[in-house]
Homo-oligomer: A and B are copies of this chain.
Amino acid sequence: MRTLYDLAGADPARRFSPYCWRTKMALRHKGLDFETIPWRFTEKDVIAFSGQATVPVLVDGERTVRDSWAIASYLEDNYPDRPSLFGADAARGVTRFVNGWADTVLLAAILRVVLMDIYARIDAKDKVYFRESREKRFGMKLEEFVADAAGNLAALRTTLQPVRTTLAAQPYLGGDAPRYADYIVFGCLQWARCISPVELLATDDPVAQWRGRLLDQFDGFARAAPCEVA
């Protein structure tokens, strides 16, 4: 059995990390069983054995792998007989661009919308750490960072334009079938879905339809997760 350390809120059933969602979808794509351990931001000592202070951390038998991209690469290399995450090894490089875009652009745009909802739902013991670390990073109060709610939501929808353009031409970012590129972007949207009542997407947005297909995957695995959106 594999064990995944998975970011949780005050409610241990609330699992909202976008990076952990990438890993959970990748494990399901590979058809690999795993159990999760809820983990809070400040429980650095619990995962100190991994050499990393953040999740996901995957323990697979004797091996410990940290960082969502490294875990995806590890799963692809060590379970080559299972369905491919990248489609082909030659697709791994360009998939990293999607990863870089999601990490530097998409997550930042979503954070402007869901930040205070995260703050409201994380464990009490994480709140001081969360506020201090984020306010230092942003150079402003959390409340200032999210002040223009309508503008931030509109900006996020614009940010998703490359996803929309791609989905106008093919059913998944990976092409004809879902691949890790899809889970990278999906994980970002699932982060919001699990922590915030704000619906990020207009109902007629093709991105919403694509997300729906990914929520249905693996017998509705991601749809079954406790979430805030109706």
Binding site for B on A (CB under 8 A): 84, 86-101, 103-105, 161-166, 169-170, 172-176, 179, 181
Each complex incorporates copies of this chain amounting to 2
Asked whether, in the complex, the Cβ of A173 is within 8 Å of the Cβ of B90, the reply is no
Known: A100-B165, A101-B101, A104-B165. A173 touches B94 (CB 8 A): yes
Q: In the bound complex, do residue A94 and residue B169 qualify as a contact, i.e. CB atoms below 8 Å apart?
A: no
Q: Tell me, rounded to whole Å, the shortest Cβ–Cβ distance linking A199 to chain B.
A: 23
Closest 7 CB pairs of A and B: A93-B175, A87-B90, A100-B165, A88-B88, A91-B91, A88-B90, A101-B162
| Cβ contacts under 8 Å, A86 to chain B | 90-91
Q: Residues of B contacting A97 with CB < 8 Å? A: 97-98, 162-163, 166, 173, 181
Cα distance, A162 to B159, chains bound together (Å): 13
Give Cα A169 to B104, complex, Å: 14
Interface pair A93/B165, CB less than 8 Å apart: no
Smallest CB–CB gap between A80 and chain B, Å? 14
**Nearest residue, chain B, Cβ from A106:** B162
Q: Are B90 and A175 in contact (CB-based, < 8 A)?
A: yes
The answer for the CA separation of A165 and B94 in the assembled complex, in Å, is: 12
CA distance A169 to B67 in the complex (A): 14
Judge whether B173 and A93 touch: CB under 8 Å. Answer: yes
A100 contacts across to B, CB distance below 8 A: 161-166
CB distance from A44 to the nearest CB of B (A): 25
Can you report 24 A-B residue pairs in the complex whose CB atoms are below 8 A from each other? A84-B90, A86-B91, A88-B89, A90-B174, A91-B91, A92-B175, A93-B170, A93-B172, A93-B175, A94-B94, A94-B98, A94-B174, A94-B175, A94-B179, A96-B175, A97-B98, A97-B166, A99-B166, A100-B163, A100-B164, A101-B162, A104-B162, A104-B165, A105-B162
Whole-angstrom distance from the CB of A211 to the nearest CB of chain B? 16
| A156 CB to nearest chain B CB (Å) | 14
Residues of chain B contacted by A169 (CB below 8 angstroms): 96
Q: Which residues of B contact A170 (CB under 8 A)?
A: 93, 96
